[in-house]
């Protein structure tokens, strides 16, 4: 076991890394963060921020010398970085597991190979692949295989012709073409798995997206039956076991005509698991610390129902003010109304610049009564704009 006050290494400096730093600090650990952005939210909270590229071997050597173990909050860390660090110290999750989750083709092949239900798809590496793609994939979604997030690098395509145009617009980068499913709703399972294979799933969250970005998460998921929720947890646990996963893993699902389909995995804590900070005995970030350090996993049970609402940069935008681009300016929203709601927990990530669609913070409303939690969260959201 790696015990406090050991130093832990975090690859990536976004808000997920920041919550990891906060959880680790509460437990008495120190954290070093590697991220190339000098204003990274996790870097600001860390004991040390190495402001360097993920492929900077000097910085990786420093991490290897000073840290007891390494984890990540960002699936696009190069596999070579994880492999290099793994020569010197434990890296959890492994480069292999991250490598599968960071490439949509590898991810889909993994699901297919392990009998996990998923939307029909084809790997697209050339125009020829698109010409040969089965007609049943239309209407579909063309997604770049790597580096897509928050709906970026995706195009909804009604026909083969539209898919060809979209593929050309993506510079013929490797893609997957997925059949468009008719969604009843979406859910996710966040779980933690330790070295010995013990697994603890958090309550299933129901997720609503707006413009391809997570908007609201409701836990426990309200639209689904207990059987469907249990099945989602079992599928997520099966995936974690097949990946030999150690750490916190998120699995996103579609529910279509009452059946579950895995959409994608994230080898890290997840936006839809933010609610665990305020509503569960152990948060997804504390579980990441625990799995990384070889501690027994904590109890993931929720003590309250929770509704989480993302706060995007759009609400920082004030069109009535003159701004640098002469059509408006960004200003700090008035947080007083949110902060006066006693069962609302506001989390702001300390990002320097607001941009439309950028995740700047979130709030979670917790209540014994899920209907009340939802009503308070929706009223709060309306109040903030």
Footprint on this chain of ligand ADP (rule: CB under 6 A): 119, 141, 143, 148-151, 178, 180-181, 183, 186, 209, 212, 252, 263-264
Residue 194 or 252 with smaller CB distance to Mg ion: 252
186 is in an annotated binding site: yes
Residue number closest to Mg ion, CB atom: 252
153 is in an annotated binding site: yes
8 Å CB contact between 235 and 260: yes
Q: What backbone phi and psi angles, to 5 degrees, belong to 66?
A: -100, -15
Residue 30 or 108 with smaller CB distance to ligand ADP: 108
Least CB distance to ligand ADP at residue 152 (A): 6
**Of 210, 185, 219, 220, which is closest to residue 356 (Cα–Cα)?**
210
**Of 296, 302, 223, which is closest to residue 255 (Cα–Cα)?**
223
Least CB distance to ligand ADP at residue 286 (A): 24
8 Å CB contact between 266 and 284: no
Residue 93 or 333 with smaller CB distance to Mg ion: 93
180 is in an annotated binding site: yes
Least CB distance to Mg ion at residue 101 (A): 11
State the maximum Cα–Cα separation within the chain, in Å, rounded to a whole number.
58
What is the per-residue burial (b if ≥16 Cβ within 10 Å, else e) of 355-370?
A: eeebbbbbbbbbbeeb
Distance CA 184, CA 180 (A): 13
Least CB distance to ligand ADP at residue 361 (A): 19
Least CB distance to Mg ion at residue 208 (A): 13
Environment class of residue 206 by beta-carbon count within 10 Å: exposed (0-12), middle (13-18) or buried (19+)?
buried
261 is in an annotated binding site: no
181 is in an annotated binding site: yes
11 is in an annotated binding site: no
148 is in an annotated binding site: yes
Q: Which does 180 bind (CB under 5 to 8 A by kind): Mg ion, ligand ADP, none?
A: ligand ADP
38 is in an annotated binding site: no
Angle at 183 between CA 177 and CA 186, to 5 degrees: 100
Q: Which does 237 bind (CB under 5 to 8 A by kind): ligand ADP, Mg ion, none?
A: none
Q: Which does 286 bind (CB under 5 to 8 A by kind): ligand ADP, Mg ion, none?
A: none
Number of residues that this document lists for the chain:
385
Binding string, residues 243-272; x marks residues near Mg ion by CB under 5 A: ---------x--------------------
61: left (phi over 0), alpha (psi -120 to 50) or beta: alpha
Residue 92 or 143 with smaller CB distance to ligand ADP: 143
Distance CA 117, CA 108 (A): 10
Least CB distance to ligand ADP at residue 213 (A): 8
Other Cβ atoms closer than 10 A to 254: 19
Other Cβ atoms closer than 10 A to 354: 18
150 is in an annotated binding site: yes
What is the per-residue burial (b if ≥16 Cβ within 10 Å, else e) of 107-129?
A: bbebbeeeebebbebbbbeeeee
Q: Which does 57 bind (CB under 5 to 8 A by kind): ligand ADP, Mg ion, none?
A: none
Residue 57 or 147 with smaller CB distance to ligand ADP: 147
Decide the pairing of beta strands 30-34 and 48-50: parallel
Least CB distance to ligand ADP at residue 312 (A): 14
Other Cβ atoms closer than 10 A to 332: 9
> Is the dihedral angle over the CA atoms 259, 263, 267, 271 positive or is it negative?
negative
Q: Which does 183 bind (CB under 5 to 8 A by kind): Mg ion, ligand ADP, none?
A: ligand ADP
Q: Which does 75 bind (CB under 5 to 8 A by kind): Mg ion, ligand ADP, none?
A: none
Residue 206 or 264 with smaller CB distance to ligand ADP: 264
323 is in an annotated binding site: no
What residues form the annotated binding site for ATP? Answer: 104, 143, 148-154, 178-181, 186, 209, 263-264
What residues form the annotated binding site? Answer: 104, 143, 148-154, 178-181, 186, 209, 263-264
Residues that bind Mg ion (CB under 5 A): 252
């Amino acid at each position: 076991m790696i015990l406090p006050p050991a130093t832990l290494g975090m690859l990536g400096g976004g808000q997920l890394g920041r919550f990891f730093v906060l959880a680790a600090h509460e437990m008495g650990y120190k954290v070093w963060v590697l991220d190339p952005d000098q204003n990274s939210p996790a870097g600001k909270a860390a004991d040390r921020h190495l402001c360097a590229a993920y492929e900077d071997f000097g910085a990786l050597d420093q991490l290897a010398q000073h840290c007891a173990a390494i984890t990540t909050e960002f699936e696009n860390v190069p596999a070579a970085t994880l492999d290099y660090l793994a020569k010197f110290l434990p890296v959890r999750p492994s480069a292999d597991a991250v490598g599968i989750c960071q490439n949509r083709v590898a991810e889909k092949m993994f699901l297919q190979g392990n009998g996990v239900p998923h939307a029909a798809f084809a790997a697209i590496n050339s125009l020829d692949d698109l010409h040969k793609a089965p007609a049943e994939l239309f209407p579909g979604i063309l997604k770049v295989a790597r580096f897509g997030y928050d709906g970026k690098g995706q195009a909804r395509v009604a026909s083969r012709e539209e898919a060809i145009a979209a593929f050309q617009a993506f510079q013929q980068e490797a893609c997957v073409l997925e059949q468009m499913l008719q969604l009843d709703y979406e859910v996710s399972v966040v779980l933690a798995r330790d070295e010995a294979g013990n697994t603890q799933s958090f309550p299933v969250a129901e997720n609503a997206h707006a413009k391809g970005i997570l908007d609201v998460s409701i836990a426990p998921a309200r639209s689904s039956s207990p059987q469907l929720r249990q099945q989602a947890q079992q599928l997520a646990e099966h995936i974690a076991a097949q990946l030999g996963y150690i750490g916190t893993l998120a699995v996103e699902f579609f529910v279509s005509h009452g059946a579950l389909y895995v959409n994608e995995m994230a080898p890290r804590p997840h936006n839809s698991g933010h609610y665990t900070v305020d509503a569960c005995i152990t948060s997804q970030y504390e579980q990441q610390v625990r799995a990384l350090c070889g501690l027994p996993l904590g109890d993931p049970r929720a003590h309250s129902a929770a509704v989480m609402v993302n706060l995007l940069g759009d609400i920082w935008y004030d069109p009535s003010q003159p701004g640098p681009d002469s059509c408006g300016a960004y200003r700090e929203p008035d947080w007083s109304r949110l902060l006066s709601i006693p069962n609302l927990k506001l989390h702001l990530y300390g990002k320097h610049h607001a941009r439309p669609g950028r995740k700047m913070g979130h709030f979670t409303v917790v209540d014994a009564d899920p209907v009340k939690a939802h009503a308070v969260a929706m009223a709060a959201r309306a109040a903030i704009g």
